[in-house]
Chain A
Amino acid sequence: MVFEIFLTYLKVFVVGGAICTIAQLFINYTKITAGKILVYFLLAGVLLQAVGLYQYLVDFAGAGATVPICGFGYLLADGAIKGAKIGLFEAITGGTTAAAMGITAAIIFGYIFALIFKSKSKRN
Chain B
Amino acid sequence: MKTSNDCTNQNFLNYVKSISPKTKQRRSLIRAFWVGGVICMIGQTFRYLLEFGLGLSGDELSSYVSMIMIFLGALLTGLGVYDRIGKYAGGGSIVPITGFANSVVSPAMEFKTEGYIYGTAAKMFIVAGPIIVFGIASSVLVGILYFIGLRIF
Which residues of A approach B to under 8 Å, CB–CB? 5, 8-9, 12-29, 34-35, 37-39, 41-43, 46-47, 49-50, 62-64, 66-73, 75-77, 79-81, 83-85, 87-88, 90-92, 94-96, 98-103, 105-107, 109-121
Name which residue of chain B comes closest to A98, CB basis: B59
Chain B residues whose C-beta falls within 8 Å of the C-beta of A85 in the assembled complex: 146, 150
The answer to whether A106 and B33 have CB atoms under 8 Å apart is: no
- Closest 3 pairs (CB-CB, A-B): A95-B139, A20-B36, A16-B40
Chain A residues whose C-beta falls within 8 Å of the C-beta of B79 in the assembled complex: 117
Q: How far is the CB of A45 from chain B (nearest CB, A)?
A: 9
Q: Chain B at the A interface: mostly helix, strand, loop or mixed?
A: helix
The answer to whether A119 and B109 have CB atoms under 8 Å apart is: yes
The answer to whether A76 and B91 have CB atoms under 8 Å apart is: no
With A24-B28, A107-B124 given, is the CB distance from A13 to B110 under 8 Å?
Answer: no
The answer to whether B144 and A91 have CB atoms under 8 Å apart is: yes
User: How far apart sit A29 and B25, CA to CA, in the bound complex (Å)?
Assistant: 9
Name which residue of chain A comes closest to B44, CB basis: A63
Q: Chain A at the B interface: mostly helix, strand, loop or mixed?
A: helix
Identify B138's interface contact among A12, A70, A76, A103, CB under 8 A: A76
With A105-B67, A106-B104, A118-B109 given, is the CB distance from A38 to B95 under 8 Å?
Answer: yes
The answer to whether A35 and B39 have CB atoms under 8 Å apart is: no
With A19-B36, A20-B35, A24-B92 given, is the CB distance from A101 to B66 under 8 Å?
Answer: yes
Name which residue of chain B comes closest to A50, CB basis: B142
Within 8 Å of chain A (Cβ to Cβ): is B38? yes
B36, B37, B92, B142, most chain A CB atoms within 10 A: B142
The answer to whether B40 and A17 have CB atoms under 8 Å apart is: yes
B34, B62, B71, most chain A CB atoms within 10 A: B62
Within 8 A of A (CB), among B19-38: 25, 28-29, 31-38
Identify A46's interface contact among B39, B100, B104, B138, CB under 8 A: B138
